[in-house]
Each structure stands twice: as structure tokens, then as C-alpha cells.
Structure 1
Amino acid sequence: MSNGIPLKKISFSGTLLLLAWPAIVENFLQSMVGFVDSLFISKLGLTEVATVGVTNAILQIYFAIFMSVSTAAAVFISRSIGEQDTEKTKVIISHALMLTIGIGFLFGFVSLFFAPDLLSLMGANAEVVERGSTYFRVIATPSIFMSLVFTIGSILRGTGDTKTPLRAGLWMNFIHIILDYILIFGLFFEGFGLTGAAIATVLARIIGVALLFRGMKRKNLLPPLSPRFWSIRPDLLYRMSRLGTPAMLERLFMRTGQILYFGMIIRMGTDIYAAHTLTGNFTLFSTIVGTGLGVATTTLIGQSIGSGKFEDVKRYGKIATGVTSTVMTVVLLIVWLYSFGAATWFTTSSEVIHLITTVLLIDLFAQPATGLVTSLTAILQAGGDTKFPMYVTWFGIWAIRTLGVYLLGVYLGWGLIGAWCAIAFDNYIRAGILYWRYRSFKWLKVI
């Protein structure tokens, strides 16, 4: 396995953690940059904050589609690495890049010509549409760079290389913060305000893509400019789309379900919604860890399947579920212990602080199930079974979580505590269903 991590040189859990930590750090840094970006923009005014909020809501749909391509690329590439088939790996990379570039151009076209319509569709008022159209066009028309960041990062991770995306992310995030400040507020010139924030984001992404391409070239992953590698193979594009589409729908089901139950929580009152939002900021730490471990799980399971080492597949499955659940629970336990003091950084309301710490405790009891959902989804997707997690997410978010938030939070009057009890119940139900599927081994599919 020339490009991956040697599976037998260190323990299975050690390999998983070694592969996961760069992805964890990368996700953490991206979250911090997002926080700094929001802080800068908040200095411009509430209309600018609202514009960015609506734009990000639209971009979440873009991200779901871009991530579906990157998920398919990671699964296909990790298997071909396991098979030690270099030519097949490069053909897959070329098609992942072609698919990514095509989708990037399509969404760029839509963003350029339909920006006001998309903002209006999301419920933005006339002032936000007027100011936000330029911002949205600048940040979303070059969608090709946005999509390439996702795909190239997944290509590298699929080979077992999580450090190159981390290094690229470090530079991209550092440059983003510097450019953000200069272009928003100005230095020796008048700043460009919200448009400056969009330009900074785009320039940082362009630099990130250049660094990721350099990483691919250094690892000899770029396919030569030859028809042998770049002639379109419709069957391969179809198989990648078939694998990636359920992953995309899974994320869209999650987002649309969140919109519904977020609306219920908003109607419970401003303080309650504020407590819910701040609790989400605290749980972000365990989510970042789980995402990084999920990336490592997909890579290692895919490589093991590709090399025909099905005993390793079973071992990695057991270890990934155990490690992910344990680490996410420990991280949230630490966060909960610190939350009693940290919550005072955000609010002086004793009622809101009590709600935050109480809801975090509920989520702490749910973390073992959340870890199982995270790891089992990664395992099934690596096995080529992206449809089952999609169905489970659809059922869990719409039939259990959203209904549960209404019954416990609204109908029975338990408020935010009832809403988070419903979220915990949903995670345990989904974990049970996914574990049943995992134990059946019907998720090992030919892709």
C-alpha cells in the first residue's frame, strides 16, 4: 500500500488516531476562522450579519452537493489504493476532478445570474437582497474553487494523507484572516466592507486549491495529460454519481429537518433560542473530533476492502465505533465541566446559563450514540452503502427528531430540555438501526 498508512506497523486504534488528528485540527481551525470572520462582519452592522447568514444557508446546499462528490471520490480512491492499482487510482482522480469542475461551473453560473432570486427565496428582505446580491455573486460565482477544496482534500485523505490538507488549510485560514481584516476595514485605503469579506474568502480558496494541487503533484497523484486518463468514461461517472447522490440527500434531509425544528425552538422564546444556539457552539468541539475520526474511518475501511483484508475491515469497524464514541463522550464531558464558567463569557442571564449546562448534560448522555452514528455512517459509506444511512437520517430527523421536538418541547411544554431529549432519542434510535445494518455486513458492496 504505497500511498496509504501501513496498517500493520502500529495498532489499529493507533492508525485510526494517527490518520484522524490532522483532519480534527483542520476542522477546528476552519471553525475558528468562521468565528473570526463573523466577528469582523458584525462590526459592519446587523444587515451585513443577516446577509452572511442567508448566504451561508444557501451555501450549505452547495456544500452538500460538493461533499457528495468528495465522499464518492474518497471511497473509490481508498479502495483503489487498497488494490494497489495506480492507473485505476489516477483514472478515478481525473473523473472526480472533471465532475467537480463541471458542478463548480454550473453552480457558479446559477450564482452569477440568479443571486437576487436565491436570496429572496430564502426569505431575505429587500435591503438584504440589495446589499447581499453583490456579496453572494462574489463569493459563489467562483464555486469551482469551493468545490475543488472539498474534492482534492478528499482525494488526498483517500490515499491516507491527511497532513497535506492540514498544511494547506493552515495557510488558507491564516491568509483568509489577514485578507479579511485588510479588505473589510482597509489599511492604506478605504475598506470594501462586506464585498471585501467575500473577496478575501475567494482569494484564500484559490490559494488553498493551488497548495492542494501542489500536494497532489508532489505525491504523484495528478494524472498525466493523456486520453488514457482523461477520456470520459460514462460508466465511472455514473457509478460515482450513484454513490455520491445518497450522501448528498442525507445532508439535505438533515438541513431541512433542522430548519423545521429550529423554527419550533425559535417560537419558544428569544432566551431559549439563544441558549440552544450557544449550546451548539459548545457541542461543536465533540462534532469536530467525530468528523475527523469519520474521515479516518472511511479511508481505512476503504483501503482494507480494496486490499481484500476483510478481517481488518471487521477490526477497524469495532475499533472505530468504540474509539469514536469514547473520545466524543470524553471531549463533551470536559466541555460540560468547563461550561459552568465558560457560559458566562456569552451571557449574564442565570436562566440561560442553567439551560445551557442542563442541555449539555443531556447531550453528554447522548454522545455514545452520536459517536456510533458518526462512525457507522462512515463505515457503511466506505463499504459503498450510502443509501441506507440516507434512509436512516431521513427517518430519524423527520419522523423522530422533528416530531419529538414538537411533542416534548412544544406540546408537553418541556421547552428546550424536551427538544434536546428528542435529539438524544433520535441519535439512540439511529445508532441502533445503523448497528443492525453494520452487523449484517450487507453494506459491503461492489462499486
Structure 2
Amino acid sequence: MYRKKKGLFFGTDPQKKWFYIDKSCIYEVYTTGIPAALESMFWQFSAIILSKIILSYGSSAFAAYQLGIQAETITEMPAIGFSTASTTLAARAIGKKDENLRKIYFRELIRVAFTISVVTSILLVLFPGVFMRMMTNKEELQSIGIQYVFVMGFIQIPQNLSRIYNGTIRAMGHKNTPMIVAGFGIWVVRIPLCLIVAFLLKLPITLIWIVIALDQLSRFGLSVILYRRFGKEVYDGSAL
């Protein structure tokens, strides 16, 4: 690797140790990875509980819910790509200590994600039956899934924009914040209200879909509030 002229690393100093512990690197990896891992665990545990709740309405309701998620995902994927870009671009701008560039990136990502979300929202609200017919030919599942897709159509904008906000917040150095936002939406809004709707009040399953939408709205609102707070810190120079 270090041979003269032909070596890939020719002209660089070879490492004296092939294995060594870089404490700062390990710290960054784990302080970033653990909150992200916990956020994923929140989703997995809540999915188990939510599945139990929806199954209380019958196996057809659960099957329709799963198909509805797949239908929603078709329109969701473009926005997910821009949420990944938000973390990358914000981190690049912050690394350069260029707050103006970070704001430009953020505004452009919000604009693109908003445009995509408006289109997907219109499609889901106006044509939920089309998406469900793509998933199944069983009318019973279609009727339940159409309700889910229709409700989810109204939250495409806050759901997708919250990804941009959370990705930017994470890049700004607030690694625990997206985990806290997700935990708030899941364990304070979604799961408690779904349990009340299903087992205490015994309301129709449509109310479960509305609770899921409220979860998305609450997380979006919290993300906006926290972004404005942290953005002000960066602007004041305290985060740099």
C-alpha cells in the first residue's frame, strides 16, 4: 500500500499502529448512534402495541392497515430522500461555520419537500381507492384501507417537513432531540390515545387513524419549536 510510485498511499506517512483506540471517535459514534438506535426501538415497540390494538378490531383491520401503510409509502419515498439530504447538507454548512449557507440549504429542502408533499397529499386524499386497489382486490380490506389512506393524505405535509427539521436539528449537534420528539409523539400521544379509543371508549377504527395523524402533527409542531430555539443558538454563535 505504501510502495514507492505504485503504492495507493505513496507519499503519505504509514500508520505506526494498525489498531488503536480513538476515544473522540468512539464518543462521537456512540453519542450519535445510541439515540438513533433508541428512536428505532421506540418505533418497533410501539408497532407491537399498535398491532395488538388494531387486531382487537379483527384480522381484516390489521391486514388493511398493513396494506394502507404500503400504499402510503409509495408517495412517501421521495420526501424521505430529502430528509437524508437535510442532515448531510446542514452538517456540511455547520462544519464550514457558514450559517447563511445552512439557512439556504434548509429553505430549499423545505420548499422541495413541501411541493412534493402537496402533490402526494392531493393524490392520497382524492384517489385513496386507486392506491388500495393496487394493493388488494378484496373489497373488505379496500374499504378499511381507504379510510386510512384518506386520513394520512392530510398529514403528508407536516409528516415530511418534520423529517427535514429533525435531520437539520441532528446535524446541528442536538443528537438526542429527534429521539425525544419521536418518544413524545409515540408514548405521549399515539399509544395512550389509541388505547383509550380502542379499549376504553370502544370507538370505530377510523379514530385510530385520526390519532396516528395527531401524533404526526404533534411531532411536527415540537420539531418546529425546537428548531427555532436551536437555530437561534447557532445564529447567536453559542452552538459554534
| TM-score range for the pair, normalised by the shorter chain length | 0.7 to 0.9
1:355 lines up with 2:144 in the alignment? yes
Q: How does 1:134-145 map to 2 (within 5 A)?
A: none
CA contact (8 A) 1:297 1:379 kept: yes
| Alignment deviations for residues 298-350 of structure 1 (CA, whole Å, 9 cap, x no partner) | 11111111111101212322332343233134224335545423423544443
Q: 1:266 aligns with which of 42, 55, 71?
A: 55
CA contact (8 A) 1:326 1:371 kept: no
What's the offset of the Cα at 1:227?
4.0
Q: 2:115 aligns with which of 326, 333, 336?
A: 326
Q: 1:257 aligns with which of 24, 29, 46?
A: 46
1:396 lines up with 2:185 in the alignment? yes
The more displaced of 435-444 and 375-384 is 435-444
Distance (whole Å) between structure 2 residues aligned to residue 317 and residue 342 of structure 1: 31
Q: How does 1:18-37 map to 2 (within 5 A)?
A: none
Residue in 2 that maps onto 1:288: 77
Residue in 1 that maps onto 2:174: 385
What's the offset of the Cα at 1:437?
0.7
Residue in 2 that maps onto 1:88: none
Residue in 2 that maps onto 1:300: 89
Distance 1:431 1:227, change over 3 A: farther
What's the offset of the Cα at 1:228?
7.8
Structure 2, unaligned runs of 5 or more: 1-7
Residue in 2 that maps onto 1:277: 66
1:414 lines up with 2:203 in the alignment? yes
| Alignment deviations for residues 158-199 of structure 1 (CA, whole Å, 9 cap, x no partner) | xxxxxxxxxxxxxxxxxxxxxxxxxxxxxxxxxxxxxxxxxx
Percent identity, aligned pairs only, is 23
Distance (whole Å) between structure 2 residues aligned to residue 275 and residue 353 of structure 1: 7
Distance (whole Å) between structure 2 residues aligned to residue 376 and residue 258 of structure 1: 23
Distance (whole Å) between structure 2 residues aligned to residue 227 and residue 414 of structure 1: 68
Distance (whole Å) between structure 2 residues aligned to residue 388 and residue 279 of structure 1: 29
Q: 2:103 aligns with which of 314, 318, 328?
A: 314
Distance (whole Å) between structure 1 residues aligned to residue 161 and residue 187 of structure 2: 20
CA contact (8 A) 1:276 1:416 kept: no
Distance 1:253 1:285, change over 3 A: same
CA contact (8 A) 1:396 1:426 kept: yes
Distance (whole Å) between structure 2 residues aligned to residue 311 and residue 229 of structure 1: 41
CA contact (8 A) 1:297 1:320 kept: yes
Distance 1:224 1:364, change over 3 A: farther
CA contact (8 A) 1:243 1:384 kept: no
Distance (whole Å) between structure 2 residues aligned to residue 439 and residue 228 of structure 1: 45
What's the offset of the Cα at 1:385?
0.9
Distance (whole Å) between structure 2 residues aligned to residue 332 and residue 434 of structure 1: 20
Secondary structure in 2 matching 1:385: coil
| Alignment deviations for residues 191-225 of structure 1 (CA, whole Å, 9 cap, x no partner) | xxxxxxxxxxxxxxxxxxxxxxxxxxx9x9xx986
Distance (whole Å) between structure 1 residues aligned to residue 76 and residue 20 of structure 2: 40
CA contact (8 A) 2:148 2:209 kept: yes
The more displaced of 293-302 and 347-356 is 347-356
Secondary structure in 1 matching 2:154: helix
What's the offset of the Cα at 1:406?
1.8
Distance (whole Å) between structure 1 residues aligned to residue 13 and residue 147 of structure 2: 57
Residue in 1 that maps onto 2:31: 242
What's the offset of the Cα at 1:272?
0.9
What's the offset of the Cα at 1:292?
0.7
| Alignment deviations for residues 279-306 of structure 1 (CA, whole Å, 9 cap, x no partner) | 0110112332222111111111111111
CA contact (8 A) 1:369 1:428 kept: yes
Higher relative contact order (CA 8 A, sep 6+): 2
What's the offset of the Cα at 1:229?
8.8
CA contact (8 A) 2:109 2:164 kept: yes
- What is the root-mean-square deviation of aligned Cα atoms in Å? 2.7
Distance 1:295 1:233, change over 3 A: same
CA contact (8 A) 1:253 1:397 kept: yes
Amino acid at match of 2:208: A
| Alignment deviations for residues 76-100 of structure 1 (CA, whole Å, 9 cap, x no partner) | xxxxxxxxxxxxxxxxxxxxxxxxx
Secondary structure in 2 matching 1:314: helix
Residue in 1 that maps onto 2:216: 427
Distance 1:273 1:225, change over 3 A: farther
Distance (whole Å) between structure 2 residues aligned to residue 255 and residue 295 of structure 1: 21
Residue in 2 that maps onto 1:138: none
Distance (whole Å) between structure 2 residues aligned to residue 432 and residue 224 of structure 1: 51
Amino acid at match of 1:317: F
